[in-house]
Amino acid sequence: MIKINDTLISNDILEVKFACNLKHCFGECCVSGDAGAPLEEEEISILEVNIDEIKPYLTEKGKELIEKYGVFDYDADGEFVTPLIDNKECAFTYFENNIAFCAIEKACLEGKTDFLKPISCHLYPIRITKHKTCTALNFHDWDICKSALKNGKNKGIPLYQFLKEALIRKFGREWYEQLLTSVEK
């Protein structure tokens, strides 16, 4: 385990090889699970401000759900999450060639917003747990990512490198440089 400032990074994040392979997993992380994607409180207002730019990319069911209930829900622990359609896929999911993609990200990539997507989605399969004195980063090992593990192993890409952009977005470039320095020791 590595400690940088108030973050604890599990060894899995340093050692596991990982590279998403949508042709094999079909974006299943956007469709399966017991709750929507975790949202930080400030992301809710960002989604609310940008929902009109995101709506054109949503499915009809996604639009209906968000219009009726809003851009967020609560999980079993009372934490903010994205709403789910029929307790299945994220309301912000759309499909192309049977692959699940993020409508929030599509709106951003097409220049409609400057919000890429919730940080929990960008960081996946890293999950963040906030404690009183630190923030823990752990690898979420889930069967749906078997193809990503195989692809990462074949390409020799460690998880922390695959998620470089997301880690810098969340913790900053200096933090990421400290991570690299710690890994190289």
d(CA 61, CA 125) in angstroms, rounded, equals 26
CA 145/CA 18 separation, integer angstroms: 9
> At 47, which amino acid appears?
L
pTM of the model: 0.91
Nearest alpha-carbon partner for 142 in 18, 9, 14: 18
**Confidence at residue 3, expressed as pLDDT on a 0 to 100 scale:** 92
Q: Which residues fall within 8 angstroms of residue 146, CB to CB, at 6 or more apart? A: none
Q: Where are the alpha helices (DSSP H) in 26-80?
A: 41-54, 60-69
> Nearest 5 degrees, angle CA 175-CA 180-CA 182?
95
Name the stretches of the chain with pLDDT < 70: none
Contact between residue 71 and residue 48 where contact means Cβ atoms under 8 Å apart: yes
Phi then psi dihedrals of residue 25, to 5 deg: -100, -20
pLDDT at 29: 87
Token pair of 68 as six digits? 């009726």
List, for residues 58-68, the tens digit of each pLDDT value.
999 999 999 99
Amino acid 34: pLDDT = 80
CA distance 165 to 122: 9
